[in-house]
Amino acid sequence: MLIVGGIVLGGWFLKNSGMLDGIVKEGGSTSTGTTTNKKPTNSKGDGNTINVGVVTWGGYAGGQYFNEGFQANSKSRFLKDYGFNVEFKVLDDFVASRKAFENDEVQLLWCTIDAFPTESGGLSGDPQIVFQADWSRGGDAIVVRRGITSIKDLKGKKVGVAMMTPSHSFLLWLLDAAGMSIKDIKPTYVADAVAAAELFKNDEVDAAVVWSPDDEACIRAVKGAKILQNTKSASHIIADGFMAKKSWINSNREKLQQLYEGWMIGASEINTRPSAKTKAAKILSKGLNIPESDAAGAIDNVRLTTHGDNMDFFGFNTNYKNQTAESLYNKMKKKYSALGGEFKDATSAAPSWRIVSNPVAVKATNLTGSAHQSESIKFAPVTSKDKAAPAIATKAVSISFRTGEFKLDENSKYIIDKEFVDIAKSFTNTRIRIEGNTDSTGSRTNNIALSKKRAQSVADYLTSAYGMSRNRFIIVGNGPDKPLCNSTSSDCMAKNRRTDFELVGGN
C-alpha cells in the first residue's frame, strides 16, 4: 500500500509541476497536434514567452525570420539559442494594438519614432523605445493625379492623410523640403492610410499619402495617377521601432537583450544572403496571409536596421552625424505642436526623449563583422544627367554675402543649419543641387562666377561640418539669370540674392 501510494503521489506531483508536459511535447505530439518545447501561451504571456505586436509590414522580418515563423515553435532560434519563446501578433487596428499593449497582451509593440510624440504622453505603463527595426524605404508614398509633377503643385489641392501617423510625418517633411507648410494645402484627415487610399480611388482628393502596396493599387485604379514621391528618397524620416513598458524592461533585461541580439542577427542575414531573404519572404507570406511576391516587395521597401544602425540611431557612435532617434523625436514633437489645436494637445504631454528612450539592450550587445555594420550611403560622381534631373522639391534660403565675397560667415552657417540641414539628413538618399543667385548689379559674367563660388562654399560647409559626400552636391551658378522679381528696389534685389536648395532624384 505504501509503494502504491508513493507512485500515485509522485504521479500527481509530476503532472501538476508541468514536468510531464515537457516530456510529452518533446516527442513532437500533443492533444492539439502542435509541436513546441514549452507550455502554450495565453494572451498575457506565460513568463517564458515574449509577445510582440506588429502590423502588416516588411520591416519586422528580422525577428520573424529568426523565430522561424510568427508562432512560438520548436524550430525558433530564440528558443534554441536563448531558451524562450516569441509570438508575433498581427494587430493592424491601431487602437486595438494600443489596448493590447496596455492590457499586457503584448510585451513589445510596434511604433514609429516620428509619430511617437503624439502618443507617448497618453499611454499607461511609462512606454519606452527599446530598439529600431527598420527605416521605411518606399513603403510610404504620396500618390497624385495627372498634372501634379512636384510638391509645389500640391498648393491648394486636397490631400488625404491619416493624421498623427507616419503618413502625416512624411507629408510634413515633404512640404518643408519645398518651403511649404500644411496651410498651403487642403488636408483631408482620415483614420489610417487605407482610408486615404480609398479617398484617392474614389476621386475625393487630388493626392493621398498611402502605404505599399496601396500605392500601386491607386495607380491602377486612377488613370494618369503616379507616385510623386516615396521614402526611397525620404530615407530617414519614418523609423519603425518597438516600445515596452518600463517595469517589464527592468524585470526582463536579459531576455530583452537576447531578443534584440537574435533579431539583429536575423536582419543581418536577410540583408546579406539572398537565400535568407527568400526564406523571410515565405515566412511573411504565411504569417501575413499575403502573396509571396508581395512579401518580398515589402522587405524591399525597408532598410532592415543592423546593430550598427541602432548604435548610430541611439547616439552611441559619437562620430555619426546623420538622423538620430532623439533628433527625430524632438523635431516631430515640434512639428506636430506647431500645427496647433488637437495636434498641440497630443504632444503637450509628450515626455522628453531621455524619459521615453531605454536602449539598454542595444548598449549591452556586441555584434561585430561587416554584416552588423551601419548602412553606408555613397554617391558616384555627378553626371550631366544628374545636373539636368528634375527637382523633387526646392527650398529657397536667403544667405547674405558681402559684395564680391563668397565665404560663409557665422550667421550664414546658422541659417543653413536651421533651414536646410535637417532636410538634408532626412532625404539622405537624394542628391542636393545648390544654386547660387545674385542680383543684377555688375557684369553678368562676374556674377555667374561669383554665384557658383557661393554655392560651392555652402557645399564645402555641409561636407566639413556634417560629413556629407562631396559627390552628393550639384553646384550651379545662375548669377542674375533666375530672378524672383524684376525691379531695382532694395527689397527685390535682396530676394534675388538667394541660394536655392533642391533635392534631386534618388541615389
Go through 13-40 and write b for each residue having 16 or more CB atoms within 10 A of its CB, e for each that does not: eeeeeeeebeeebeeeeeeeeeebbbbe
- Which pLDDT score is estimated for 49? 97
Q: pLDDT-based confidence at 378, cuts 50/70/90?
A: confident
Domain annotation covers residue 379: no
Residues 254 and 127 placed together within one structural domain of the fold:
yes
Say if residue 247's pLDDT is above 60.
yes
Domain annotation covers residue 440: yes
Over range 273-286, report the average pLDDT.
97
CATH code, domain with 404 = 3.30.1330.60
- Which pLDDT score is estimated for 39? 35
The Cα–Cα gap between 290 and 502 comes to: 38
Residues 260 and 311 placed together within one structural domain of the fold:
yes
Residues 487 and 445 placed together within one structural domain of the fold:
yes
- Which pLDDT score is estimated for 348? 93
Say if residue 111's pLDDT is above 60.
yes
C-alpha cell at 360: 539598454
- Which pLDDT score is estimated for 9? 47
- For 379-427, what is each residue's pLDDT tens digit? 999 998 888 888 888 888 888 777 778 889 999 999 999 999 999 999 9
Quick check: 180 and 155 in contact, CB under 8 A? yes
- For 432-459, what is each residue's pLDDT tens digit? 999 998 888 889 999 999 999 999 999 9
The Cα–Cα gap between 136 and 166 comes to: 10
Over range 13-23, report the average pLDDT.
40
SS (H, E, C) 219-272: HHHCCCCEEEEECCCCCCCCEEEEEEEHHHHHHCHHHHHHHHHHHHHHHHHHHH
Residues 160 and 307 placed together within one structural domain of the fold:
no
- Nearest by Cα to 85 from 125, 41, 149: 41
Q: pLDDT-based confidence at 250, cuts 50/70/90?
A: very high
Instruction: Round the average pLDDT of the chain to a whole number and report it.
Output: 89
Say if residue 22's pLDDT is above 50.
no
Task: Give me the domain span that covers residue 195.
Answer: 140-230
Counting residues of the chain whose pLDDT is more than 70, the rounded percentage is 91
- Which pLDDT score is estimated for 24? 31
The Cα–Cα gap between 317 and 462 comes to: 20
Specify which residues 51 forms β-bridges with: 87
Of 58-62, 95-99, 484-488, minimum mean pLDDT range: 484-488
Over range 30-56, report the average pLDDT.
59
Quick check: 162 and 168 in contact, CB under 8 A? yes
230, 254, 287: which is the final residue of a domain? 230
Residue in the block written with cell 556586441: 366
Domain annotation covers residue 347: yes
Residues 153 and 200 placed together within one structural domain of the fold:
yes
Q: pLDDT-based confidence at 496, cuts 50/70/90?
A: confident
Residues 165 and 303 placed together within one structural domain of the fold:
no
The Cα–Cα gap between 159 and 143 comes to: 9
Domain annotation covers residue 123: yes
Domain annotation covers residue 18: no
CA 182, 499, 332, 351 torsion: positive or negative? Answer: negative
- Which pLDDT score is estimated for 112? 96
- Which pLDDT score is estimated for 46? 61
- For 135-179, what is each residue's pLDDT tens digit? 999 999 999 999 999 999 999 999 999 999 999 999 999 999 999
Residues 59 and 118 placed together within one structural domain of the fold:
yes
Number of domains, the chain: 3
Q: pLDDT-based confidence at 365, cuts 50/70/90?
A: very high
Helix 166-177 to helix 325-338 angle (10° resolution) is: 80
SS3 for 319? coil
Residues 259 and 312 placed together within one structural domain of the fold:
yes
Quick check: 136 and 142 in contact, CB under 8 A? no
Domain annotation covers residue 217: yes
Say if residue 290's pLDDT is above 50.
yes
Over range 360-372, report the average pLDDT.
97
Say if residue 11's pLDDT is above 60.
no
Q: pLDDT-based confidence at 33, cuts 50/70/90?
A: very low
Quick check: 83 and 118 in contact, CB under 8 A? no
- Nearest by Cα to 51 from 238, 245, 239, 192: 245
DSSP string, 395-421: EEE-----TT-----HHHHHHHIIIII
- For 303-358, what is each residue's pLDDT tens digit? 999 999 999 999 999 999 899 999 999 999 999 999 999 999 999 999 999 999 99
The burial class, CB within 10 Å (0-12 / 13-18 / 19+), for 371 is: middle
DSSP string, 414-458: HHHIIIIIHHHHHTTTSEEEEEEE--SSS-HHHHHHHHHHHHHHH
196, 230, 264: which is the final residue of a domain? 230
Residues 150 and 215 placed together within one structural domain of the fold:
yes
Residues 110 and 243 placed together within one structural domain of the fold:
yes
CATH code, domain with 178 = 3.40.190.10
C-alpha cell at 10: 509522485
The burial class, CB within 10 Å (0-12 / 13-18 / 19+), for 423 is: buried
Domain annotation covers residue 446: yes
- Nearest by Cα to 454 from 409, 389, 419: 409
Domain annotation covers residue 125: yes
Over range 52-78, report the average pLDDT.
97
- Which pLDDT score is estimated for 2? 52
327, 350, 372: which is the final residue of a domain? 372
Say if residue 106's pLDDT is above 80.
yes
Q: Which residues contact 306 (CB under 8 A, 6 or more apart)?
A: 264, 267, 268, 271, 367, 371, 372, 373, 374, 375
SS3 for 475? strand
DSSP structural state of residue 351: P
CA 302, 307, 308, 310 torsion: positive or negative? Answer: positive
The Cα–Cα gap between 57 and 203 comes to: 27
Residues 107 and 165 placed together within one structural domain of the fold:
no
Say if residue 467's pLDDT is above 50.
yes
- Which pLDDT score is estimated for 6? 52
DSSP string, 147-200: T--SGGGGTT-EEEEETTSHHHHHHHHHHHHTT--GGGSEEEEESSHHHHHHHH
- Which pLDDT score is estimated for 396? 84
- Which pLDDT score is estimated for 3? 53
Q: Is the pTM of this model over 0.75?
A: yes
SS3 for 85? strand
Length reported for the chain: 507
- Which pLDDT score is estimated for 41? 39
The burial class, CB within 10 Å (0-12 / 13-18 / 19+), for 406 is: middle
Residues 88 and 186 placed together within one structural domain of the fold:
no
Q: pLDDT-based confidence at 377, cuts 50/70/90?
A: confident
